[in-house]
């Protein structure tokens, strides 16, 4: 998979895409074999813009994730707790912009993201960053430690009505202190809307190709893949799905 498969889309710039930020949203994720992406993109190319930055349609992302020593944020996700949080630092490599991001999954199924611009993506938290976490979440930032990191490539789409934003992530590489795992066989597609609507051309295309929604956390699944001694019972069906995609 490379940028040439997205060459027929009309482009949108970062400034115009900001109209579709959807910092509070509903979202659905899909796991798709990368071999299917060219045909899916061809089916929807007339209905979406694609983000282009510095003449590039394929962007690079680097992320550090934080959690407590006893993995409270991971465990809340594993156990299906709502009103759960995720804390990360992310660098948007092509614009050299970095943010501290706190994501909340509410008990109504909404995803709320709040972020603070930062100068550099260090795997540590300074006092300003800790104060931001205290302000936007119930998490004690003094207990947060760097737990894992990843990097991936992304295509970003917006529908022509600017009501929907879609991301397509692939070439996901997950890192721990002692291990690196690269997943090249599948892509993670996320459809983000103010509220879920079946008018999404991409969602309809995926359904027609018999691809069903499936929750997928890069943080949680990433840790399962690089750490042997971590609780993972809830995520075993997803790992089996990944294994099938890899084997096919």
Write the pLDDT tens digit of every residue in 221-242: 999 999 988 999 888 888 888 7
Taking only the tens place, the pLDDT of each residue in 10-24 is: 999 988 888 766 556
Per-residue pLDDT band at 193 (split at 50, 70, 90): confident
**102-109 contacts, C-beta under 8 A, 24 or more apart:** 102/132, 102/133, 102/136, 102/137, 102/139, 104/137, 106/82, 107/82, 107/83, 109/26
pLDDT of residue 22: 58
Convert the pLDDT of each residue in 88-123 to its tens digit: 999 999 889 999 999 999 888 788 899 999 998 889
Number of domains in the chain: 1
Q: Phi/psi at 93 (nearest 5 deg)?
A: -60, -40
Per-residue pLDDT of 116-173, as tens digits, reads 999 988 899 999 999 999 999 999 999 999 999 999 999 999 999 888 999 999 999 9
- pLDDT value for 198: 62
Provide the CATH number for the domain around residue 43.
2.40.320.10
Mean pLDDT of the chain, nearest integer: 90
Task: Between 212 and 245, name the one with better pLDDT.
Answer: 212
- Average pLDDT, integer, range 176-195: 87
pLDDT at 195 (0 to 100): 66
Instruction: Decide if 64 contacts 151 (C-beta within 8 A).
Output: no
Q: Which of 129, 73, 148 is nearest to 105 (CA)?
A: 73
Contact between 100 and 132 (Cβ < 8 Å): yes
Whether the pLDDT of residue 25 is over 90: the answer is no
**Do 185 and 34 touch, CB atoms closer than 8 A?**
yes
Residue 49 CA, distance from chain mean position: 19
Helix ranges (H only) for the chain are 14-17, 37-44, 72-78, 127-136, 201-208, 218-226, 236-247
Work out the number of other CB atoms within 10 angstroms of the CB of residue 191: 24
Q: Does 56 score more than 80 pLDDT? A: yes
* pLDDT higher than threshold 80 for residue 52: yes
* pTM metric for this prediction: 0.90
Range of the domain at 120: 3-247
Query: Is the per-residue pLDDT at 192 higher than 70?
Result: yes
Other beta carbons within 10 angstroms of residue 73's beta carbon come to 21
Neighbours of 111 (CB within 10 A): 17
Answer yes or no: is pLDDT of 189 > 80. Answer: yes
């Amino acid at each position: 998979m490379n940028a040439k498969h997205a060459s027929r889309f009309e482009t949108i710039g970062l400034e115009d895409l900001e109209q579709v930020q959807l910092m509070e949203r509903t979202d659905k994720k899909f796991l798709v074999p990368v071999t299917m992406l060219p045909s899916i993109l061809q089916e929807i190319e007339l209905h979406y813009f694609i983000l282009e930055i510095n003449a590039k349609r394929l962007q690079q992302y680097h992320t550090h994730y934080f959690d407590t020593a006893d993995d409270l944020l991971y465990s809340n996700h594993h156990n299906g707790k709502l009103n759960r949080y995720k804390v990360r630092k992310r660098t948007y490599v092509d614009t050299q912009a970095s943010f501290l991001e706190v994501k909340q999954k509410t008990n109504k199924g909404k995803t709320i993201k709040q972020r603070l611009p930062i100068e550099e993506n260090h795997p540590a938290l300074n006092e300003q960053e800790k104060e931001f976490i205290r302000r936007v979440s119930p998490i004690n930032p003094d207990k947060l430690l760097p737990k894992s990191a990843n990097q991936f490539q992304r295509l970003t789409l917006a529908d022509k009505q600017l009501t929907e934003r879609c991301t397509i992530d692939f070439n996901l590489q997950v890192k721990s202190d002692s291990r690196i795992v690269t997943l090249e066989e599948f892509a993670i597609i996320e459809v983000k809307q103010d509220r879920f609507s079946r008018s999404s051309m991409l969602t309809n295309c995926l359904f027609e190709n018999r691809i069903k929604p499936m929750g997928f956390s890069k943080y949680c699944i990433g840790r399962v893949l690089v750490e042997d001694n971590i609780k993972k019972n809830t995520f075993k069906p997803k790992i089996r799905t990944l294994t099938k995609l890899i084997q096919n």
